[in-house]
A and B are shown apart, each in its own frame.
Chain A
Amino acid sequence: MVSGVGLGFRREIARKLIALEEDKPKFIEFAPENWMKMGGYWKKKLNEATEKYPVMCHGLSLSIGSPDELDFDFLKDLKEFFDIYNPEVYSEHLSYSKCDNAHLYDLLPIPFREDAIEHVSERLKTVQDYLERPIAIENVSYYTPVAAEMDEATFISEIVKRSGCNLLLDVNNVYVNAFNHNYDAKEFIDALPLDRVKYIHMAGHEQVSPDTIIDTHGSPIIDPVFDLFEWTINKIDPVPILLERDFNIPKMGELQEEVNKLQTIVDKVWEGENASKS
Chain B
Amino acid sequence: MPLKAETKDLQSKLATYCKTGEMIELKGAKQDRLHHYRRLTYNILKESLSTAYPIAKKTLDENEWKEMIDSYFKEHKMQTPQVWKMPEEFYYYCVDKNYQEKFDRPYLNELLFFEWVEIDLHTQEDELIPLHKEEGDLLEDILVMTPEHHLLSFEYPVHKMKGDDLMENKGNYFVLMYRKSDTGAVNFINISSFFALLLQNMIDDGTNLRDSIQKTADTFGIEGEKAVQHSMAFVNDLMLQGFILGFKK
Residues of A that sit less than 8 Å from B by CB:
33-34, 36-44, 60-61, 65-67, 71, 74, 96, 98-106, 108-111, 113-116, 118-119, 143-148, 180, 212, 214
Alpha-carbon distance A253/B126, docked complex (angstroms): 33
Tell yes or no: B84 within 8 A of A by CB: yes
Q: Which residues of B contact A110 (CB under 8 A)?
A: 11
Establish whether residues A99 and B26, one from each chain, have CB atoms under 8 Å apart when the complex forms: no
Q: Which residues of A contact B84 (CB under 8 A)?
A: 34
Tell yes or no: B221 within 8 A of A by CB: no
Partner of A100, one of B3, B6, B41, B77: B77
Subset of 5 A-B contacts with CB under 8 Å: A37-B82, A39-B126, A67-B7, A102-B76, A145-B30
Within 8 A of A (CB), among B177-226: 179, 183-185
Establish whether residues A114 and B1, one from each chain, have CB atoms under 8 Å apart when the complex forms: yes
> Would you give the shortest CB distance from A131 to chain B, in whole angstroms?
15
Establish whether residues A146 and B81, one from each chain, have CB atoms under 8 Å apart when the complex forms: no
Establish whether residues A100 and B12, one from each chain, have CB atoms under 8 Å apart when the complex forms: yes
> Would you give the shortest CB distance from B104 to chain A, in whole angstroms?
30
> Would you give the shortest CB distance from B79 to chain A, in whole angstroms?
7
Q: Which residues of B contact A33 (CB under 8 A)?
A: 81-83
Establish whether residues A111 and B82, one from each chain, have CB atoms under 8 Å apart when the complex forms: no
Alpha-carbon distance A84/B48, docked complex (angstroms): 27
Establish whether residues A67 and B179, one from each chain, have CB atoms under 8 Å apart when the complex forms: no
Establish whether residues B11 and A40, one from each chain, have CB atoms under 8 Å apart when the complex forms: no
Alpha-carbon distance A61/B78, docked complex (angstroms): 12
Which 6 pairs of residues, A with B, have the shortest CB-CB distance?
Answer: A41-B184, A61-B81, A99-B15, A147-B28, A39-B126, A102-B77
Take A104-B41, A108-B15 as given contacts and tell me if A40 and B1 are in contact as well, using a CB distance cutoff of 8 Å. Answer: no
Partner of B3, one of A101, A119, A143: A119
Establish whether residues B124 and A103, one from each chain, have CB atoms under 8 Å apart when the complex forms: no
Tell yes or no: B34 within 8 A of A by CB: yes
In this complex, the interface size class of chain B, counting residues with CB under 8 Å from chain A, is 35 or more
> Would you give the shortest CB distance from B190 to chain A, in whole angstroms?
23
Establish whether residues A101 and B77, one from each chain, have CB atoms under 8 Å apart when the complex forms: yes
Partner of B15, one of A60, A104, A111, A214: A104
Partner of A38, one of B29, B41, B123: B123
Alpha-carbon distance A144/B29, docked complex (angstroms): 6
Nearest residue, chain B, Cβ from A65: B11
Interface contacts beyond A38-B125, A106-B41, A144-B34: sample of 18 additional A-B pairs, CB < 8 Å, sorted by A: A33-B82, A34-B84, A40-B123, A60-B81, A65-B11, A67-B8, A71-B81, A103-B86, A104-B41, A105-B48, A108-B15, A115-B2, A143-B33, A144-B26, A144-B33, A147-B29, A180-B33, A214-B36
Take A33-B82, A40-B184 as given contacts and tell me if A105 and B44 are in contact as well, using a CB distance cutoff of 8 Å. Answer: yes
Establish whether residues A146 and B125, one from each chain, have CB atoms under 8 Å apart when the complex forms: no
Partner of B10, one of A43, A102, A146, A214: A146
Q: Which residues of B contact A71 (CB under 8 A)?
A: 81
Within 8 A of A (CB), among B22-44: 26-30, 33-34, 36-37, 40-41, 44
Establish whether residues B37 and A106, one from each chain, have CB atoms under 8 Å apart when the complex forms: yes
Q: Which residues of A contact B185 (CB under 8 A)?
A: 41
Nearest residue, chain A, Cβ from B28: A147
Establish whether residues B40 and A106, one from each chain, have CB atoms under 8 Å apart when the complex forms: yes
Establish whether residues A105 and B86, one from each chain, have CB atoms under 8 Å apart when the complex forms: yes
Establish whether residues A146 and B44, one from each chain, have CB atoms under 8 Å apart when the complex forms: no
> Would you give the shortest CB distance from B78 to chain A, in whole angstroms?
4
Establish whether residues B41 and A105, one from each chain, have CB atoms under 8 Å apart when the complex forms: yes
